[in-house]
Amino acid sequence: MAIERTFLMVKPDGVARGLVGDIISRFERKGLTLEQVRMVTIDEELARRHYAEHVDKGFFPELLSFITSGPAVAMAWSGESAVAVGRTLMGPTDPAVAPPGTIRGDYGTVVTQNLVHGSDSSDSATRELAIFFP
């Protein structure tokens, strides 16, 4: 396995609920290394760049409203298989089917406000890291 980098964001609902510390702790306990972190309030332009693949989808207006609704915490992580490890720790997008022990399984209730975003591939990690940590 190779050391890789990934992007993770605690979305506005996770920040508002005070879950940032717990989410960071889960990634650290798993063995990933936090390289960079910043709190950011995402504006429409940044949201459109980050979620470029979703701009033309019917759910984008709701996503845009949510992701720009308050501060988020953007993070760069590294470690062995960091992308896959991150996806496993987050759990499936829908909290109703996310298993206990995952971030979404333990804390999520609504699919449209699911606490965290994480890169789904090395390519998207590279793209997302460049957007939030130029």
Give the Cα separation of 115 and 54 in Å (integer).
18
Determine the Cα–Cα distance for residues 97 and 92; give it in Å rounded to an integer. Answer: 7
- Asked whether the beta carbons of 133 and 125 are under 8 A apart, the reply is no
Active site residue 117: yes
Q: Which residues pair with 36 in a beta bridge?
A: 76
**Residue partners of 126: CB distance under 8 A and separation at least 6:** 5
- Point out the catalytic residue in the list 117, 118, 129, 132: 117
Q: Which residues are marked as active site?
A: 117
